[in-house]
Each structure stands twice: as C-alpha cells, then as structure tokens.
C-alpha cells in the first residue's frame, strides 16, 4: 500500500549532513536531501526503522551515528514515479567516519551545512527545509 522511507537529519556540531541526490535517481534527482532509504522486507525484527536508517547511512555516506535516534516527524507524499510514500525523519548525532558519496548511484555529493545554508540553497526543496527546521527545534531541546 505504501513505501516506507526513513531519513536521518544527521548533526555534527552545528552542521547538518546534506546530500545532493544523484541525477540517476528516479525521485528528486539532483536536489538536496537528507540521507535515507526504503524499509525492506526483513521479517520480524525490532526497531526496523532505526535499523534501516543506520544501514542506509552506512551504505550511502559511510558514517556511523550515535544511539538513540530521535523521532522528528513523518509525512506522506506521492513520488515522482507515482508511488505513495510514508516518510519518517529521525534526528541523528554524528559518531564517526568521513562522510563520502559512497553510493554514487544515489549520492552525487555530500555537504556539511548550517540550517541557514540549507534554507537559502536554491536546490533545497521545501520538505527538506521543513525537516531541518523541525530537527533544529529538537536539537536545541536534546543536545543543548
């Protein structure tokens, strides 16, 4: 019925890890985005959303994030290919590794950006700006 997608608003000091999506992507190609991906059928596992997000972060940008991941918000949308998607965003605190475009079919480039840089970037869609705005509020409450 729905594709379930998870994304990580990854924070390192006062900057967010933002990717430029590959032009090979079928949805939002070339736009700025959070790191994330689709939940796959894995059987009965606890914390499937968090497990999926940590796997996607490792596969796409080769870094690790600290536990726990904190829920930010969820949305639904219709993808560029017409699929119904439920998207869940988590606030993640950077742990270790050097962020690189490890999965070049999905990630064109990686950037550490302030919230203001995201808000002002011409390739930052409104939904990314909204996720960063919400994550900023949670960051202030949890990482102060």
Share of the chain above pLDDT 70, in %: 99
Omega before 30 cis (within 30°)? no
98-110 mean pLDDT = 93
More confident residue, 23 or 14: 14
pLDDT band at 143 (very low <50, low <70, confident <90, very high): low
Q: What value does the CA radius of gyration of the chain take, rounded to a whole number of Å?
A: 14
125-131 mean pLDDT = 97
pLDDT of residue 11: 97
Mean pLDDT of the chain: 93
56-73 mean pLDDT = 96
How many domains are there within the chain? 1
Query: What are the angstrom distances between the C-alpha of 137 and each of 4, 21, 39, 43, 141?
Result: 24, 25, 26, 34, 7
Q: How many residues does the chain have?
A: 144
Q: CB atoms < 10 A from the CB of 111, how many?
A: 15
Domain boundaries, position 9: 3-142
Kindly report the CATH number assigned to the domain that includes residue 68. Answer: 3.90.79.10
Task: Return d(Cα 57, Cα 44) in angstroms, integer.
Answer: 22
28-45 mean pLDDT = 87
Q: Is this structure's pTM higher than 0.75?
A: yes
Note the Cα 92 to chain centre separation in Å: 9
Is it the case that residue 144 has pLDDT exceeding 60?
Answer: no
pLDDT of residue 127: 96
């Amino acid at each position: 019925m729905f594709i379930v997608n998870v994304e990580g608003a990854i924070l390192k000091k006062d900057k967010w890890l933002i990717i430029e999506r590959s032009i090979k992507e079928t949805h939002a190609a070339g736009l700025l985005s959070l790191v994330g991906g689709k939940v796959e059928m894995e059987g009965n596992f606890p914390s499937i959303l968090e497990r999926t997000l940590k796997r996607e972060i490792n596969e796409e940008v080769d870094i690790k994030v600290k536990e726990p991941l904190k829920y930010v918000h969820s949305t639904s949308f219709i993808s560029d290919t017409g699929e119904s998607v439920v998207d869940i965003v988590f606030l993640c605190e950077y742990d270790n590794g050097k962020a690189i475009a490890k999965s070049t079919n999905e990630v064109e480039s990686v950037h550490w950006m302030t919230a203001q840089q995201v808000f002002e970037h011409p390739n930052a869609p409104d939904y990314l700006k909204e996720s960063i705005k919400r994550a900023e509020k949670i960051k202030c409450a949890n990482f102060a």
